[in-house]
Chain A
Amino acid sequence: AQKITQTQPGMFVQEKEAVTLDCTYDTSDPSYGLFWYKQPSSGEMIFLIYQGSYDQQNATEGRYSLNFQKARKSANLVISASQLGDSAMYFCAMREYNTGFQKLVFGTGTRLLVSP
């Protein structure tokens, strides 16, 4: 069964520093996708970045990059040059492609607080 684990309930970082949010996953499907979403206090879920299991390079989207280590089954999110507006909950999620189900399975989230 697919499973996502986020072991950091909360993280603190100073503005302009980089921060890594951890995510490990478990699946027996060789074809899967990994997603990171941001949820600010307003509640909406904002898509940040995607990594496919067959992608050769780590995904990057602006200040976000995904450190994908397939053998370790980890997909850590790196936020460079943190900004105050980055303070939010961050969720890692996974989708299996061969099961025929399209649901996203989410981790429990990490609350990031960026201080001035």
Chain B
Amino acid sequence: DSGVTQTPKHLITATGQRVTLRCSPRSGDLSVYWYQQSLDQGLQFLIQYYNGEERAKGNILERFSAQQFPDLHSELNLSSLELGDSALYFCASSVGLAGGPRDNEQFFGPGTRLTVL
């Protein structure tokens, strides 16, 4: 158990809908990362938040958005869903920007499997 929790574990929805994925980082971790794992794109970095602020953006679609709340949990919002958005969405957390490289080791949550029908 990494200490990172994600809900829900599975989500099935229809095209055009909007969903919210939730992540709680490990206690003490300030950074939260979102990754998407799909069959055709592999594992891709979407976005990072550090202590409530967006820190880095990867291959995140405009239909997707995220935020990190004062209690450090994060939510990934996916809207106007398409079939191709079906994937496993991981949240990871790390201590943050301070410290040495090992302090930035990312611990992954169990993932949310999204199926768009």
Contacts and interface: CB of A to CB of B under 8 A. Distances in A.
Interface of A: 31, 33, 35, 37, 43-47, 50, 52, 91, 93, 95, 97, 100-106, 108-109
Interface residues of B, number: 28
6 contacts: A43-B111, A50-B101, A91-B43, A101-B48, A103-B56, A104-B92
Contact of B105 (A47, A100, A101, A105): A47
B56 A101 contact: yes
Given A91-B43, A102-B94, A102-B97, A43 B110 contact: yes
B104 interface: yes
Contacts of B42: 106, 108-109
B45 A105 contact: yes
B88 A52 contact: no
A47 B31 contact: no
Contacts of A33: 101, 104
Interface of B: 2, 31, 33, 35, 42-45, 48, 55-56, 58, 88, 90, 92, 94, 97, 101-102, 104-111, 113
Contact of B104 (A91, A102, A109): A102
B110 A106 contact: no
A101 B46 CA distance: 12
B48 A50 contact: no
A106 B43 contact: yes
A37 B101 contact: no
